Chain A
Amino acid sequence: MADHWEFVIAAYGLAAIVFGAYWRRLCHKERELNALKSTSRSESTMRSRQPSTTGRA
Chain B
Amino acid sequence: MTRVLGWLAAIGLAIGLGMGFGVAPRETTQGNVQRIMYLHVPTAWVAYLAFGVVLLASIVYLARRAEAADRLAHASAEVGVVFTGLTIAAGSIWGKPTWGTWWTWDARLTSVAMLFVMYLGYLLLRGMIDDRERAARYCAVLGIVAALDVPLVHFSVYWWRTLHQPPTVLKPGAASMPPVILATLLVNLVAFTLLYAYFVAKRARLLRAETEALA
Q: Which of A's residues lie within 8 Å of B, judged by CB?
A: 1-5, 7-8, 10-12, 14-15, 18-19, 22-23, 26, 29-30, 33, 36-37, 40
Closest to B82 in A: A22
Closest to B35 in A: A8
Q: Are B209 and A14 in contact (CB under 8 A)?
A: no
A15–chain B nearest beta-carbon distance, Å: 6
Interface residue ranges of B162-215 to A (CB < 8 Å)? 195, 199, 202-203, 206, 209-210, 213
CB of A33 within 8 A of CB of B206, answer: yes
Question: Is there contact, CB below 8 Å, between A26 and B206?
Answer: yes
- 28 inter-chain pairs at a CB distance below 8 angstroms, sorted by A residue, are A4-B32, A4-B97, A5-B32, A7-B33, A7-B36, A7-B93, A7-B97, A8-B35, A11-B39, A11-B89, A11-B93, A12-B17, A12-B39, A14-B89, A14-B90, A15-B39, A15-B43, A18-B85, A18-B86, A19-B82, A19-B86, A19-B195, A26-B203, A26-B206, A29-B206, A33-B209, A37-B209, A37-B213
Chain B proximity of A5: nearest CB distance (Å): 6
B contacts, CB < 8 Å to A? 17, 26, 29-33, 35-36, 39-40, 43, 79, 82, 85-86, 89-90, 93-94, 96-97, 195, 199, 202-203, 206, 209-210, 213
| 8 Å CB contact of B31 from A4, A22, A29 | A4
- A11 in complex: contacting residue of B31, B40, B195, CB < 8 Å: B40
A15-B86 in contact given A2-B31, A8-B36, A10-B93 (Cβ < 8 Å): yes
**Within the complex, which residue of B31, B36, B203 is in contact with A1, where a contact is CB–CB below 8 Å?**
B31
In contact, A14 and B86 (Cβ under 8 angstroms): yes
